[in-house]
Structure formats: C-alpha cells, structure tokens
C-alpha cells in the first residue's frame, strides 16, 4: 500500500510523492520559547515525530527542520517582565524543551533554527516583497503584506476573501489574531521602546525593527531548503491545527509571492488539540500540564506516547488520569511480552514467522493510511496476544519476528524503559539515556516514590512511618507539602 496523507490544503487523503525520489523535506513549527512547552504542544510534536519515524521506516531520507520562535510578542513581554535581555530570557526555555523532547524519545531534528539567527534572510524577503509592490510601509513605520494583491490568500483556511479588510485601516500588527481579524498582516514591526530595551530590534533598509512571527518561518525554511536542496518548495509542512490561520496562511502568501511558486509545501498536515475536561489546554483556562510535570511524577515516556497513539492525530484527545493509567497498563503488557521474547533462544522457523507476517502487513497498512496509529497499536496488541500463546505452546521467536517487532515498536516508541538501578530501599528506578542528568533523575524518582510511600502510610494511619519518610525527604533537601488534592514533594532551593 502506498503512503497516503491528509492534506489540509485539499481537505483529502492523498498518495504521498516527494519532489525528489527517496528524499523528504519536513518543516515543523516548534515551540515559542517564552515558557515551558505543555503536553498539548507535545501532542503535536509527537505526531510529527511518528510521521518522521514512519517516513524513515518506509525508506525515505528525511531532512527535518523544527524552528524555535525566540522573538515575538510573547518572548519580548516575558523578557521585559523578567528585566532580562531577550537572549538571556529564552535560553532556559530552549534548554528545557530539549530536555523534555529527549525524555519523550523524540528524534533529533537536523536543524533547530532560532529566528534571531536568520534576520538577514528575513530582511531580504521583505525587500523583495516591497520591490514587487506586494508589501508596503504603513504610517506606523512597520511593513505590511497587502493580501489584496495576492489572489490566492485564504486557500488553506478556506476564508471568504470577499469579507477581508485591506489597505489603510485594515492592518493587524499582532503576531497572533483571530480569523475575523484577517487583514494586511505585519512582516516587519517598527522598533518600539520595549523591543530596544530587551535587544529585539535590528537595522534594515526599510527601518529599524524586528520580524513578525509569520515572516520568521518562511525565511528560515526557504534559507535552509535552498542550502540543502537548491529549491524553494517543501514536501511536508506540519504543525498544530491552531496554526492553519493565521500563521500558515500568512506563510503561504509571503513565501509564494516571493518565490513565484504555486505553493510553499506539497502537503500541509495539522494535529488536533489535546484537551483537559473537554477544554483546550492553555494558560487562559489555567489547565496547563507540562512534560516535566509528568517526568517528576515518574510517568514513563512510553506511557504518554501510547496514550497519544490511541487516537488519530486529526481527532481531539481528552487527557484524563484514567486514560493515562490505561496507557500505562498497555505499555506494561507490551513490555512484558518483549521481555519474554528477549529471554528466548531464536530459531530459524516457527509460528512466529506467521505472526511477523500478519503484524508487518497490518501495522504498515494502518500507518500508510494517514498514520492510523490506533489501528497500528491494535496490530501490536494482537501480535502480543498471538505471541504469548505461541510462547506458552513452546514456540520460539524467529529473526524475522524480532526484526518486524523492533521496526514497528520503534516507530511508536511504546515499550517501557527497562529498570536499571535499585536504591538502598529497594525502589527500582527507570533510567533512560535521554540526556537528562542521571543523578538528577535518580533524585527525582526517589523523591516521587518516597512521597507516594508516605501518602500510603498516612492513609493507613501509620503515622510513625509517615513521619520517618517526611524526615528522610527533608534530610535530602525535599519538602513534603500536603494539600486538598494530594501530596507533593518539592525540592528546596
């Protein structure tokens, strides 16, 4: 079966054919590094990671770029509030993002361009649009894109351009805005006092200022694409569904007006929201849960990845404790079977050859059908049930099965990490080679386990044991805080 992907531009699932045989250029919109990325963000990032893994498992050489937005309204506001330079303010959040993605077993992108590193190509792009008369300098000193001069504006988001406001009085300078605010958008913002204060202003022929958010991705993608392939059209551009408008719509307009190409990407892919109690995760609703929150609670990365894989990337997924517990159990079952297989001596031929054939066919068919991860998971679990029955009957695994199993589980990354260390109290730590400092990981998992043991002792009215654990945590720099919803172990600074 040929790989077929849903293209937001055409609103249909289409056979995927890259521009260059065997090679795929993939651009994914990364985090805005003004705060820690929450798991709603990571649902999108992990869908993109699965996309890349399946492309590579299918034999494609993938060139993956994920940008880091380090200059926009949010990062400047954050730097001002922290009384820090923009550069100093974003570094901890960039570092945290890389820690989080490694914890979640995301493959390294080939490039993580920061917007502030690509000011020169942004200036060139704006100059070209000004020269073509598609951009103009507003009375506020900023440079705007005239959407009335780009007839195809609104194709991606299906806007009715007859209702769009253009020209004087029809401009929007904010980086993010609602669909009803579709007007001439800002390419280059004239420098303000706040920009100068945090070091977010650059000289340009059309006036000192800084790039608009939409301009940044176009310039970075085009610059890196030209250097790698010598062309200006992406194979796949992916991001969250909230980026369809205005971000990706504006990217298309400015990029195509600049290059003269009919589109900026052959395929546009968008992941749906992760919700909590049916509400989109956002600061506005106060329902933010970060990857580091889960890591501190001892949640294995495979558990979260399996939870996300249970629902198609184009469907909303509601995050609940029950769903997480079910995913943890599913990952455990897969891990136990994998351990049983690993302990068995291999043979040349057995029932496992048939299981491998079925698994390979069903998993591949599911993933080729627009990354149908829920069906791919079903194939894994059916192979697990069949494999356990075969092992119980005395059958031994074959090299063919081992190969297929490793390939399929490697795409989804749903096998739990192996326990690798015991502390003096007998607690088995889950250690992962993800770049997170080993000693720090040991401390965090130990503290979480001790916190849980103290809560169990307290609920059993074993107050002597509860007090002993509290004192032990305090001795190692951890403070136990009881509150209505449970108990937390917080490291004292």
Token pair belonging to 234: 């992406």
- When mean pLDDT is compared across 88-92, 172-176, 262-266, the lowest value belongs to 172-176
369 pLDDT higher than 60: yes
| CATH fold label, 4-280 | Rossmann fold (3.40.50)
The string of pLDDT tens digits covering residues 298-319 is 899 999 999 999 999 999 999 9
With 0-12 / 13-18 / 19 or more C-beta atoms within 10 angstroms meaning exposed / middle / buried, residue 101 is: buried
What pLDDT, on a 0 to 100 scale, did the predictor assign at position 165? 53
Question: What are the structural domain ranges in the chain?
Answer: 4-280, 331-412, 419-491
Token pair belonging to 461: 């009215």
Which conformational region is residue 133 in: left (phi greater than 0), alpha (psi within -120 to 50 degrees), or beta? Answer: left
What pLDDT, on a 0 to 100 scale, did the predictor assign at position 430? 36
Q: Report the distance separating Cα 128 and Cα 148, nearest Å.
A: 17
The string of pLDDT tens digits covering residues 96-140 is 999 999 999 999 999 999 999 999 999 999 999 999 999 999 999
What pLDDT, on a 0 to 100 scale, did the predictor assign at position 389? 97
- φ, ψ at 303 (rounded to 5°): -65, -45
With 0-12 / 13-18 / 19 or more C-beta atoms within 10 angstroms meaning exposed / middle / buried, residue 104 is: buried
Task: Write the CA distances from 170 to 164, 381, 399, integer angstroms.
Answer: 8, 55, 65
Q: Average pLDDT of the chain? A: 88
The string of pLDDT tens digits covering residues 427-469 is 333 333 344 444 454 566 567 667 767 777 777 778 887 888 8
Give the pLDDT band of residue 38 (cuts 50, 70, 90): very high
Q: Report the distance separating Cα 242 and Cα 34, nearest Å.
A: 18
- φ, ψ at 262 (rounded to 5°): -70, -20
The string of pLDDT tens digits covering residues 196-227 is 999 999 999 999 999 999 999 999 999 999 99
279-280 and 274-276 beta bridge pairing: antiparallel
Helices (H), ranges, 213-287: 213-229, 249-259
């Amino acid at each position: 079966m040929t790989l077929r992907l849903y293209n937001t531009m055409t609103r249909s699932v289409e056979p995927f054919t890259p521009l260059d045989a065997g090679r795929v250029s993939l651009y994914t919109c990364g985090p805005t590094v003004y705060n820690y990325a929450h798991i709603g963000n990571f649902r999108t990032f992990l869908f993109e990671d699965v996309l890349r893994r399946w492309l590579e498992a299918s034999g494609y050489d993938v060139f993956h770029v994920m940008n880091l937005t380090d200059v926009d309204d949010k990062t400047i506001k954050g730097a001002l509030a922290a009384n820090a330079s923009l550069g100093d303010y974003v570094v901890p959040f960039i570092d945290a993002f890389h820690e989080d993605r490694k914890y979640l077993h995301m493959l390294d992108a080939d490039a993580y361009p920061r917007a502030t590193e690509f000011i020169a190509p942004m200036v060139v792009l704006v100059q070209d649009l000004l020269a073509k008369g598609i951009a103009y300098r507003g009375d506020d000193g900023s440079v705007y894109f005239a959407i009335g001069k780009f007839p195809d504006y609104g194709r991606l988001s299906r806007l009715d351009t007859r209702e769009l406001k253009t020209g004087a009085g029809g401009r929007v300078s904010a980086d993010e805005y609602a669909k009803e605010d579709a007007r001439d958008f800002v390419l280059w913002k004239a420098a303000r006092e706040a920009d100068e204060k945090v070091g977010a202003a650059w000289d340009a022929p059309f006036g000192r200022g800084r790039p608009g958010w939409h301009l940044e991705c176009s310039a970075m993608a085009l610059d890196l694409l030209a250097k790698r392939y010598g062309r200006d059209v992406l194979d796949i551009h992916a991001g969250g569904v909230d980026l369809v408008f205005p971000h990706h719509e504006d990217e298309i307009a400015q990029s195509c007006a600049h290059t003269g190409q009919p589109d900026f990407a052959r395929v546009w892919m968008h992941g749906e929201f992760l919700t909590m109690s049916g509400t989109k995760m956002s600061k506005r609703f106060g329902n933010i849960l970060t990857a580091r929150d889960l890591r501190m609670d001892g949640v294995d990365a495979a558990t979260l990845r399996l939870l996300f894989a249970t629902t198609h990337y184009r469907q909303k997924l509601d995050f609940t404790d029950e769903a997480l517990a079910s995913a943890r159990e599913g990952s455990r079952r897969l891990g136990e079977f994998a351990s049983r297989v690993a302990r068995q001596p291999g043979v040349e031929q057995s029932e496992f050859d048939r299981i491998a054939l079925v698994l390979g066919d069903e998993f591949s068919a599911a993933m080729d059908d627009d990354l149908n991860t829920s069906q791919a998971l079903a194939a894994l679990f059916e192979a697990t049930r069949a494999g356990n029955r075969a092992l119980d009957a005395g059958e031994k695994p074959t090299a063919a099965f081992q190969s297929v199993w490793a390939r399929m589980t490697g795409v989804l990354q749903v096998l739990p990490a192996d326990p690798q260390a015991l502390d003096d109290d007998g607690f088995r730590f889950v250690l992962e080679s993800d770049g997170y400092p080993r000693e720090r990981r040991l401390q965090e998992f130990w503290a979480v386990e001790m916190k849980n043991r103290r809560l169990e002792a307290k609920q059993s009215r074993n107050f002597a044991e509860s007090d002993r654990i509290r004192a032990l945590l305090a001795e190692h720099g951890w403070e136990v805080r009881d509150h209505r919803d449970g108990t937390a172990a917080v490291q004292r600074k």
